[in-house]
Structure 1
Amino acid sequence: MSSLRKRAGLTAAGVTAALLIAACSPGAGSTSAPAATSSAASSSGAGAQSLTVSDIGPSFRALKPLASLAPEGRGNVAVILPDTTSSTRWVEFDAPYLKAAFAAAGLPPANLIVQNALGSDATQVSMAQSDITQGATVLIICPLDSGTGAHIEQLAKAAGVLVIDYDRLTLGGTRGYYVSFDNVRVGTVMGGGFTACVKAWHVKDPNVIVMQGAPTDNNATLFAQGYLGVLNPLFKAGTYKDISNPPGSWDPPTSLSEFQQQSTAHKNINAALIPNDANAAAIIHYLQGQGVKPQTFPTTGQDASLAGLQNILAGYQCGTVYKPIYLEAGATAALAMYLRAGKSPPSSLVSGSVMDTIAKVSIPSVLATPEWVNTANMNDTVIKDKFVPVSQLCTGQYASACQAAGISG
């Protein structure tokens, strides 16, 4: 068994699917910050007591009933995103969506801080310390790694600040809530899209390199758990061959270097499970330079980036896992508005639970559902949601492919 499969298997029992109704206050031992009151059904925000993550759209109209919570709350809400390199999403989508979601929910702009740590652990810690000093009562953090996240959450706990883990779970942390996509399902969707593509592209004897994101990112482990759940039975049956499992990274140059080393050592590699669009783009560019033709070498991705979607249209990437980030941003804003006002969020919103396998506590969670996007449904998903403008997607060499896919503005 490969080291990658061993790592993914270790967490299989530690992740609870979003099927349980979670408690409406922070989990036992998760934080000593002031718990929200048990009276979720107060008149404030009553119109949103049945809010679910699926109610949220890119305009965030569903959050408007929360505006009555704003004057009942105190202090600032601070958001610290991780970097600009692991994905373009943090700058292009998360930051603006979070600002729009909080605006729709009625939080005054002066009470919202949205920052990016630019890949620096020290910067992320410094930003958190500054936010706490400046009066943050709710801190939303997407940690660069669990060690940094746990340190920040201890600082917040000592200051009585409530914490929401955003997108990435801090293992061993002391947060009260977690908002993300169902990350095991992200991997499962990716694995399913990959196997469908191998068949559709008529790849005989698939010799697969299985890649992953940074080992320090718990999400990367969960993604791997999902796609290995699809691939391992095929490897075991001999339908596919598991050729190589590099250590993994979210840095595209590092990922490319790993791929080049393995493809040089194993010249029979003819398919790659790649966990995000940015890493895939670097590898696809290399494959094109090696003379690889469209629809002959299946690759995958995640994030529905412009580059990823264009690689799909060009026939070099099978598809991408689309995570409508407005769902994550909107749910986080709603949750933060309740916590800032000292109220329990409705169970219709916090309807999931994820286990922190280090702290050994179950974290009340909001888990959105991802989608597989390829040429067949691109127009009805990312284009319909205005996630990527047609004017940017369908330029130059991609215009005819867009037309064939039925993509229109």
Structure 2
Amino acid sequence: MKRLFFVLNIGVFLFLLGTILSACEKDQNLNTKLPLQPISDSKDVITGPEQVKIGFAMDTLEEERWLKDKMLFKESVEALGAEVKIMAANGDDALQVWQAEKMISQGVDLLVIVPHNAESTAAIVKKAHQAGIKVIAYDRLVKNAELDMYVSYDNEQVGVLQAQTITSIVPRGNYVYIGGAVTDNNAYLVKKGVFSVLQPLIDKGKITVVFDDWTKDWLPSNAKENMKLALEVSANQIDAVIAANDATAGAVVEALEEQGLAGQIPVAGQDAELAAVKRIVAGTQTMTVYKPIKALTETAANLAVKLARGEDVKTVKQVNNGRIDVPSILLSPIAVEQSNINDTVIADEFHTKEDVFRGQQ
């Protein structure tokens, strides 16, 4: 009886063992037919260039021209199949640094910056590089930083065009210069261009600069106070005014109007803002400098996307920022007076003819 029980147990054991081995063999065969990882994780299925994200850290959106920059840059980047994140600090240095850091933390592939303060924004470049992100300075140069690229108009030439136009009208007399913000490197470049034309005439005694000061934060209210002071110290004996941009030129015209002098004294500006072009038609502003923003935004967007994708970019100019010679692309500005408004800002559809001449007699 015990022998029969033992034989039965051995039979059961062998049956169970065979079943287990058979199951294991089937599992092994099945596993050899399964991929080691999901297909969706395979690099072989990625097609086309990966979409890149561009960060655009702007100084301000409080002036007409910067609203155009924002809109056109966004359109240009998206037309290239990339994404863009835009933030504006409205003249607040600390906020601009914070906004840039936020975009860096959000994983932008490249940062484009319009610096409010040419010096303090060097910290942004450093932080971006630490995160492996390249930086392009747009319109304004960042000082003392290892910038990857600088894209702008030739701002020194802007000042040259302003001074050449005004001195052709007023070759002798008392001049006032209303500069831009002392924190903006472009303001220095424009002034350098202006005085490259004025200085020989000053040396010859033909021109006297009776007032020359910066405009804090580019605010028109500060420019107007500067102009009122210039009128006071000169007893209204002023023959020409060169202002760093159209917003400050508008403030100059306001101060002149209060003294009954608007339209009698030539005034120069830059940016070709609609209000400035209308003043040129009305005769209270003499000229502005047109910097086609669409050309600038398209150039900057193209460079930004190429650099973000790791493509090579060639430049022919370099601009020293106090630390390195920055690879640069500088576009050419255009002087605008009454005689060529139709051929410049209107022909380019920068402003419509209806807008420019609306309300003009």
With normalisation by structure 2, the TM-score equals 0.83
Gaps of 5+ in 2: 1-46
Q: How does 1:335-346 map to 2 (within 5 A)?
A: 335-345=303-313
Alignment correspondent of 1:310: 278
One-letter amino acid of the counterpart of residue 231, structure 2 = S
Distance 1:74 1:363 in 2: 27
Distance 1:246 1:212 in 2: 6
Q: Structure 1 residue 266: deviation in Å?
A: 0.9
Most deviating of 208-217 and 285-294: 285-294
Distance 1:269 1:391 in 2: 34
| 1:228 and 2:205 correspond | no
Partner of 2:109, secondary structure, is strand
* Percent of aligned pairs with the same amino acid: 33
More relative contact order, 1 or 2 (CA 8 Å, 6+ apart): 1
Deviations 1:144-171 (A, max 9, x none): 1123310111110111101000111011
One-letter amino acid of the counterpart of residue 249, structure 2 = A
Deviations 1:359-390 (A, max 9, x none): 1x111111110000011111011001111122
Aligned partners of 1:125 and 1:152 also within 8 Å: yes
| 1:80 and 2:32 correspond | no
Distance 2:174 2:204 in 1: 13
Alignment correspondent of 1:281: 250
Alignment correspondent of 1:103: 78
Q: Structure 1 residue 306: deviation in Å?
A: 0.9
**Structure 2 counterpart of 1:367, from 330, 335, 352:** 330
Distance 2:205 2:116 in 1: 37
One-letter amino acid of the counterpart of residue 76, structure 1 = K
Larger helix proportion, structure 1 or 2?
2
Aligned partners of 2:178 and 2:248 also within 8 Å: no
One-letter amino acid of the counterpart of residue 182, structure 2 = P
| 1:170 and 2:142 correspond | yes
Alignment correspondent of 2:98: 126
Aligned partners of 2:253 and 2:262 also within 8 Å: no
One-letter amino acid of the counterpart of residue 329, structure 2 = V
Alignment correspondent of 1:255: 223
Partner of 2:256, secondary structure, is helix
Distance 1:246 1:341 in 2: 44
Partner of 1:194, secondary structure, is helix
Q: Structure 1 residue 104: deviation in Å?
A: 2.4
Q: 1:266 to 1:235 in 2, by over 3 A?
A: same
With normalisation by structure 1, the TM-score equals 0.74
- Misfit runs of 4+, over 3 Å: none
| 1:238 and 2:205 correspond | yes
Deviations 1:207-244 (A, max 9, x none): 11122111111100000010100111111111112212
Alignment correspondent of 2:320: 355
Q: How does 1:123-202 map to 2 (within 5 A)?
A: 123-198=95-170
Q: Structure 1 residue 136: deviation in Å?
A: 0.5
**Structure 2 counterpart of 1:264, from 218, 232, 257:** 232
Q: 1:166 to 1:71 in 2, by over 3 A?
A: farther
Distance 1:188 1:227 in 2: 5
Distance 1:114 1:83 in 2: 11
**Structure 2 counterpart of 1:89, from 65, 76, 86:** 65
Q: Structure 1 residue 198: deviation in Å?
A: 2.4
Distance 1:255 1:386 in 2: 29
One-letter amino acid of the counterpart of residue 297, structure 1 = I
> Over the residues paired in the alignment, what is the CA RMSD in angstroms?
1.6
Deviations 1:19-73 (A, max 9, x none): xxxxxxxxxxxxxxxxxxxxxxxxxxxxxxxxxxxxxxxxxxxxxxxxxxx9434
Alignment correspondent of 2:35: none
Q: Structure 1 residue 321: deviation in Å?
A: 0.5
Q: Structure 1 residue 139: deviation in Å?
A: 0.2
Alignment correspondent of 1:388: 351
Q: Structure 1 residue 248: deviation in Å?
A: 3.2
Gaps of 5+ in 1: 1-69, 200-204, 401-409
Distance 1:73 1:80 in 2: 23
Partner of 2:90, secondary structure, is coil
Q: Structure 1 residue 308: deviation in Å?
A: 0.6
One-letter amino acid of the counterpart of residue 88, structure 1 = E
Q: Structure 1 residue 141: deviation in Å?
A: 0.3
Partner of 2:268, secondary structure, is coil
